[in-house]
Amino acid sequence: MRPMTLTARALPLQDRALPVRDANAGGGDDASPFGALPEWDLTDLYAAPDAPEMKRDLDWLEEACRSFAEDYEGKLADLGAEAFLDCVKRNERIDAIAGRIMSYAGLRYYQLTTAGDRVKFMSDMQDRITTFTTPLVFFTLELNRLPDDHLDGLFAENAELARYKPVFDRIRAMKPYQLSDELEKFLHDLGVVGDAWQKLFDETMAGLSFYVDGDEMGIESILTLFQDHDRDTREAAAREVARVMADNLRTFARVHNTQAKEKEVIDRWRGMPNAQTGRHLSNHVEPEVVEALRNAVVNAYPRLSHRYYELKRKWLGLDRMQVWDRNAPLPGGDQRAIGWEEAQETVLSAYAGFSPRMAEIAQPFFDKGWIDAAVKPGKAPGAFAHPTVTEVHPYVMLNYLGKPRDVMTLAHELGHGVHQVLAAGQGEMLSSTPLTLAETASVFGEMLTFRALLAKAETQAERKTMLAAKVEDMINTVVRQIAFYDFECKLHEARRGGELTPEDINAIWMSVQAESLGPAFDFMDGYETYWAYVPHFVHSPFYVYAYAFGDSLVNALYAVYEDQPAGFQDKYFDMLKAGGSKHHKELLAPFGLDATDPAFWDKGLSMIEGFIDELEAMEN
């Protein structure tokens, strides 16, 4: 998932509730200036909501959950190694079927979030699967009551069972925060209520209309105007976003207040020390590693964003930067719309330049209906790659508008797709990568595409434009996302003290924006509401630091690739194939990297500094 200009879509893998268009829907718009854009073909999941295979799988799932609980509840401690392996495999199969159903329901929904039948179908599937799987809550609870030496003995006895140890380690990391069996089942059932607030956010956002120069558009289209060459157009778009956000601010404040309070209550009952703890546990990353990353980035604000935006202010010929200038293209930059075929060729050729195998894995996404690219009314904003289940394949969603950043978004999401295809061999329980590592392949795919394009630059002016665009993307990925993380930390901490008014949340937002963007900027009235449309805050609290983690990690990886290219591709593919089967320390060791070393983050940030150094040198 990519941090778009100001927004991104984060979809928790465990929810499996994602978007799609019916297989028999019409094709892309041949009249589009970008060429015919692809749409999803979901038949590899199900042919239709009422397909017989859907009923078959729902019936199977209900019985499989019932019999699993009947066969194993209260008995895990008595299982031998072989019987325990059978138990794990049955659990894994349940996960695969439930994931397949929710992937189909979710993808249909996100492709047209305003369609009542799709909303109902997804909600119904969530309700049914939650009901079916409630009896399975005992599994992790009983697993966490087993002594360490008991599990170690089972692993020593059966090598195939031992392969699942990383899954058990992540489950058992929650052991200190586990509640009673009854309360855990209650929270499992109550999860659909929390999901309803996410759907309210999605449906409200998808239903918003914005008007610029008499044209009506959705959130994705108006955000694209922030990159328009005409400053008056950018200003009009920025003020219109502020107007619409202000008109809907009570709804968005209610969503954030409710979700933050729900999280505070659950965290308090679990005894978690702060709101971020759950995310760190799910990411399998130590809190001190995240804190080191956060501090390194914040300390680098003057060397990164402050310095770059001062350069950009001069390039634009402005006395002061306004928020609508942040993503403005440089004077003289390429204004043409980039066609879909050109975007495809650009990314695939860059991938092939790194390794033909990488391009071969990516090619079916274009050929087999695994990408949905067009911007349509009611479609969810942003972009993502959803892995579905390991026996099918991922699906990529874009909102393609022919901008250079859209090409980079394609490279980013295809990187996720390649990663997910390679990790599928680990199976359902081990393929899912923690968010901190899930961004590795996506950001690496962007870097490959950027480097390939930069190598073709024929003039210094062209090179300058490309370097500046890359620096802006990296600042959006690192600086902006850490500012988002600080915003969330402050918001959740403040919510513990009571209800937050929209003005309270606005003030928290502004407290991190000036610090991260720097002294070159003025902030228009209304910018304080821009927190309202960032979906990560609603769908996946504290997801955002994963982008900065991934970008800095990739910068360090790419430096290793440049210094020691021999054998790098094989090590890189081995890392992706590992999925969630290894800790980040183990994955990075073959490259001589260690994310627990505070100096690691400075190494990643130094690449951004180097690009800014080159841009400054061009001014002399």
Strands 395-397 and 384-386, sheet pairing: antiparallel
- For residue 25, the model assigns a pLDDT of 27
- For residue 10, the model assigns a pLDDT of 28
Q: What's the whole-number mean pLDDT along residues 156-175?
A: 93
- For residue 143, the model assigns a pLDDT of 93
- 150 and 47 in a common domain: yes
- 510 and 456 in a common domain: no
CB 453 within 8 A of CB 350: yes
Q: Is the pLDDT of residue 528 over 90?
A: yes
- 101 and 175 in a common domain: yes
Final residue belonging to a domain, choices 194, 229, 263? 194
What is the tens place of the pLDDT at every residue in 430-440? 998 887 888 89
Q: Is the pLDDT of residue 29 over 50?
A: no
Domain membership flag for residue 300:
yes
Task: List the Cα angle 125/127/130 in 5-degree steps.
Answer: 105
What is the tens place of the pLDDT at every residue in 209-230? 999 999 999 998 899 899 898 9
More confident residue, 474 or 1: 474
Q: Is the pLDDT of residue 7 over 60?
A: no
Number of neighbouring beta carbons within 10 Å of residue 120:
12
Confidence of residue 345 (pLDDT cuts 50, 70, 90): very high
Domain membership flag for residue 125:
yes
Confidence of residue 466 (pLDDT cuts 50, 70, 90): confident
CB 119 within 8 A of CB 17: no
> Could you tell me the pTM of the whole model?
0.81
Provide, rounded to the nearest whole percent, the portion of the chain with pLDDT above 90. 72
Q: Is the pLDDT of residue 20 over 70?
A: no
Q: Which of 526, 426, 439, 529 lies closest to 487, judged by CA? A: 529
- For residue 23, the model assigns a pLDDT of 24
Q: Which of 238, 257, 201 lies closest to 504, judged by CA? A: 257
Domain membership flag for residue 12:
no
- 405 and 531 in a common domain: no
Q: Which of 41, 48, 12, 11 lies closest to 381, judged by CA? A: 11
What is the tens place of the pLDDT at every residue in 355-392? 999 999 999 999 999 999 999 888 988 899 999 999 99
- For residue 335, the model assigns a pLDDT of 64
CA distances from 597 to 289, 445, 581 (A): 8, 25, 22
Strands 384-386 and 371-372, sheet pairing: unpaired
Domain membership flag for residue 302:
yes
Domain membership flag for residue 603:
no
- 559 and 433 in a common domain: yes
**DSSP label at 355?**
-
- 118 and 108 in a common domain: yes
Which H or E run contains 217? strand 215-217
Which residues fall within 8 angstroms of residue 550, CB to CB, at 6 or more apart?
436, 437, 438, 439, 440, 442, 443, 477
Q: Report the CATH number at residue 96.
A: 1.20.140.70
- For residue 297, the model assigns a pLDDT of 95
- 164 and 48 in a common domain: yes
Q: What's the whole-number mean pLDDT along residues 47-66?
A: 98
Provide, rounded to the nearest whole percent, the portion of the chain with pLDDT above 70. 94
- 498 and 359 in a common domain: no
Q: Is the pLDDT of residue 401 over 70?
A: yes
Number of neighbouring beta carbons within 10 Å of residue 302:
11
What is the tens place of the pLDDT at every residue in 554-598? 999 998 999 889 999 999 999 999 999 998 899 999 999 998 887
Final residue belonging to a domain, choices 487, 511, 539? 539
Domain membership flag for residue 2:
no
Mean pLDDT of the chain: 90
- 352 and 461 in a common domain: yes
237: Cα within 13 Å, side-chain hemisphere: 25
Q: Which of 56, 2, 55, 46 lies closest to 20, judged by CA? A: 46
Percent helix, strand and coil across the chain, each rounded to 5? 65, 5, 30
Q: Report the CATH number at residue 228.
A: 1.10.1370.20
Range of the domain at 564: 335-475+551-576
Quote the CA–CA distance of 440 and 430 in Å, as a whole number. 17
Count of domains for the chain: 3
- 171 and 225 in a common domain: no
Q: Is the pLDDT of residue 410 over 80?
A: yes
CB 250 within 8 A of CB 501: no
Q: What's the whole-number mean pLDDT along residues 44-69?
A: 98
Q: Which of 503, 507, 502 lies closest to 490, judged by CA? A: 507
- For residue 240, the model assigns a pLDDT of 97
What is the tens place of the pLDDT at every residue in 255-272? 999 999 999 999 999 999
- For residue 333, the model assigns a pLDDT of 62
| Runs of H (alpha helix) within 425-527 | 435-438, 440-455, 460-477, 479-495, 502-517
Domain membership flag for residue 21:
no
Confidence of residue 63 (pLDDT cuts 50, 70, 90): very high
Task: List the Cα angle 218/224/228 in 5-degree steps.
Answer: 130
Task: List the Cα angle 401/514/197 in 5-degree steps.
Answer: 60
Q: What's the whole-number mean pLDDT along residues 32-56?
A: 92
- 323 and 231 in a common domain: yes
What is the tens place of the pLDDT at every residue in 494-515? 999 999 999 999 999 999 999 9
- 171 and 138 in a common domain: yes
Domain membership flag for residue 618:
no
- For residue 619, the model assigns a pLDDT of 78
Residue whose entry in the numeric block shows the structure tokens 């909600």: 123
Q: At what angle do helices 287-300 and 479-495 cross, to 10 degrees?
A: 120
Instruction: Please give the structure tokens belonging to residue 526.
Output: 């209304």
- For residue 330, the model assigns a pLDDT of 84
